[in-house]
Amino acid sequence: MLKNTRQTFIVSDLHFGHANIINYCNRPYDVVKGNRAPENKPALAEMKEDILKMFDFLPDDCDIWNLGDFYFAGSGDPRKVSDEVVKELQEIINRMKKTNRRLFLVMGNHDNMHNKGQSRIDFYYKLGFDKVYDAPVLVEDKFILSHEPVYLAKGSTLVNLYGHTHDISVKEDYFCYDYENYAMECRVFDKMGQERPKIQIRYPEREVDLKNYKNMCLDYNNGILEWVGDYFKQAALCWRNKEKKDENDS
C-alpha cells in the first residue's frame, strides 16, 4: 500500500500546450480555434508561466501528484513528437521538481507520447517523473487516484480523486474503470462518437449510489491542493483564475 510520507500536493489536467482546452474550460486566455494556430502561442506561453508560478509557490521538500493530461502534443503519431516539445517538457518538469521534490503521474488519455522505441511510461520517466502509473493507484488504503472517474460499489469506503471531467463532479454513470472488480469498462461513447447504451443499462447492478459516492474532481481551474490526512485545502491558485473568481463573486 502506498503512503504519503512527505508534505503532499495534488493537481490534475494542466494541459500544457493545449489551446482548445482554454475555450472548453473557460480558462482566462484569448485564443482562436485550432491547437496548431500560430496566433495561440502567446496565450499558451502565458498559461504555461501561470501554471508554473503555482508550482514555484510550493515548498521544495514535497511530493506532487498529477492525475493526468499533463501536456497536449496534438493528434497524430505520438512517436513523431518533436524535439522542441521534448525540450519544453523537460524544462517544465525541471522547474516543477526544483531540487528535492518528487513528481508522480497517473497517466491520462492525452499522456500518450513516446518516441525512439520507448514505451509511454519510459518516456515520462526519462523526462523526470519519479513514478508513472498507467492505471488507478490506491493510497493510504482509502484514496483511489485516477485520471478518469472509477466505479465504486455501494457501501464502498474508498474515495476517488480524479480529473478528466475538469471541474465537473460526476453526477451520472460516467465511469471508465471498475476499480473494485479490476475490469475495464467500455466508454459511454465509441471511437466514432456514437453513444453506446448507458453503463447502468448494460450492467444494472452497477447503478451508482450518488448519495454515498465519495469523490472529488481536480482541475487546473481549482489550482493545486495540499493533501493533509483526509482533508484537501487549496495551496496555490492561478492568479488570473482568482481575479476572475473575485469578479464573479462581486
User: What are the pLDDT digits (tens) for 78-88?
Assistant: 667 888 889 99
Q: Is residue 182 predicted with pLDDT exceeding 80?
A: no
Q: Which residue has the higher pLDDT, 99 or 250?
A: 99
d(CA 3, CA 145): 12
Domain-wise residue ranges, the chain: 8-249
pTM of the predicted model as reported, rounded to 2 decimal places: 0.82
Backbone φ/ψ region at 149: left (φ over 0), alpha (ψ -120 to 50), beta: beta
Q: What is the pLDDT of residue 56?
A: 95
Round the average pLDDT of the chain to a whole number and report it.
79
> Among residues 112, 94, 111, which one has the least CA distance to residue 103?
94
Q: What is the pLDDT of residue 148?
A: 83
Band of pLDDT at residue 196, cut at 50, 70 and 90: very low
Q: What is the pLDDT of residue 203?
A: 46
Neighbours of 49 (CB within 10 A): 11
Phi, psi values for residue 128, rounded to 5°: 130, 0
Q: Is residue 208 predicted with pLDDT exceeding 60?
A: no
d(CA 163, CA 216): 8
Q: Is residue 24 predicted with pLDDT exceeding 70?
A: yes
Backbone φ/ψ region at 70: left (φ over 0), alpha (ψ -120 to 50), beta: alpha
pLDDT in tens, 88-146: 999 999 999 998 999 999 998 888 887 777 788 999 999 999 999 988 888 988 888 98
Q: Is residue 242 predicted with pLDDT exceeding 90?
A: no
Q: What is the pLDDT of residue 45?
A: 95
Q: Is residue 33 predicted with pLDDT exceeding 50?
A: yes
Q: Is residue 184 predicted with pLDDT exceeding 50?
A: no
d(CA 46, CA 187): 34
Q: Is residue 169 predicted with pLDDT exceeding 90?
A: no
Cβ neighbours for 211, distance < 8 A, ≥ 6 positions apart: none
Cβ neighbours for 118, distance < 8 A, ≥ 6 positions apart: 126
Q: Which helix (DSSP H) or strand (DSSP E) does residue 54 occupy?
A: helix 41-56
Phi, psi values for residue 66, rounded to 5°: -120, 125
